[in-house]
Amino acid sequence: MSDFDSNPFADPDLNNPFKIGHSLWSVETEGGVRGCSCSTNEDPSVTQVTRNVPPGLDEYNPFSDSRTPPPGSVKMPNVPNTQPAIMKPTEEHPAYTQIAKEHALAQAELLKRQEELERKAAELDRREREMQNLSQHGRKNNWPPLPENFPVGPCFYQDFSVDIPVEFQKTVKLMYYLWMFHAVTLFLNIFGCLAWFFVDSSRGVDFGLSILWFVLFTPCSFVCWYRPLYGAFRSDSSFRFFVFFFVYICQFAVHVLQAAGFHNWGNCGWISSLTGLNQNIPVGIMMIIIAALFTASAVISLVMFKKVHGLYRTTGASFEKAQQEFATGVMSNKTVQTAAANAASTAATSAATSAFKGNQL
């Protein structure tokens, strides 16, 4: 009987090919059937394998309806690999963060103030050294800056870092630049009036007056209102402040008239510019540019007047101080003292002569 006819529910060891007992081997030949019987011993390696069967395998039935896996094949559930808990550092309290920011801002502000104080201290130290040098060698005029071989030397001494306090240096420099701006505008006004004279031969008066205004207003404005302002901030003089305000108001009125540009006044203002534009467009455009410069000069003059007046109020100057300074300055002037002494001696001589003549009569 072949192996296919064997009972599948029989003992598995019955047909185990590795377990060889007393078996009958039959070999089919041409002459018939030759049979032999032999007995062999069991293989040790096979026996060892068959004995090391996993536990529970004998009870496992593959044809059973139960879906329960054999005991040996049961897998343990996957247990997540948990690490020991690590405590995270607690977040900083918002209040502490705000305090730290405020502390950093306060420290930055202190550093900024310290740098500013150091800068001012260095500036004061430099000014002190320069004042010492000036006291030893004397002040040497440096304005206007002229060549050494020029026949006329400088007439004024000007140094903002030495004479003017730090808080007023910017204002004084702006006034100096305003004076230069007005001087350049007057210089350009000459060329505008000259071009207008070429277009209209009856404008010779304006051309001549433009030269006069440049020659007259440029030095007079420097001496009459800029230098008093420079001296007022240098020595905190109330009298010089009042001189500046009086002259500067007149200067502002001149700026307004120059911006207007009346005929035969020697200014390329708006009225003259529109007239020149009707006669010649390029000349009119040139005159309009000069009129715009005169207008800008008037506007900036008004703004700087308000700024200087605000600084004047903070310096503690007053009209009473101006009167005292004027009286002190007049009485301390050697020329005035000499004139007063001469007048007093003349009056005394006249009185004595009159008294002597009266006694004789």
Does some domain include residue 345? no
Judge whether 62 lies within some domain.
Answer: no
Q: Is 128 inside any structural domain?
A: no
Distance CA 289, CA 307 (A): 27
352 found inside a domain: no
The domain containing residue 303 runs over which residues?
164-332
Count CB atoms within 10 A of the CB of residue 134: 14
Q: Are residues 50 and 168 in the same domain?
A: no
Select from 37, 54, 71 the last residue of a domain. 54
Contact between 145 and 153 under an 8 Å Cβ cutoff? The reply is: no
In a domain, 327, yes or no: yes
288-343, pLDDT tens digit by residue?
A: 999 999 999 999 999 999 999 888 887 766 556 666 655 665 445 565 456 555 65
Rounded Cα distance between 123 and 234, Å, is 16
Q: Answer yes or no: do 31 and 177 share one domain.
A: no
Predicted confidence at residue 27, as pLDDT, reads: 41
Highest mean pLDDT among 62-66, 121-125, 142-146, 327-331: 142-146
Q: What is the pLDDT of residues 196-252, one digit of tens each?
A: 999 988 889 999 999 999 999 999 999 999 999 998 988 888 888 889 999 999 999
Clarify whether residues 187 and 323 are in a common domain: yes
Closest CA to 196 of 263, 129, 115, 144: 263
- Dihedral, 245, 249, 255, 260 alpha carbons, nearest 10: 170
Domain count, the chain: 2
Query: Residue 101, Cβ neighbours under 10 Å: how many?
Result: 10
Give a yes or no: residue 328 inside a domain: yes
Q: pLDDT tens across 24-59, in order?
A: 444 444 444 444 444 444 455 555 555 555 555 455
Q: What is the pTM of this model?
A: 0.58
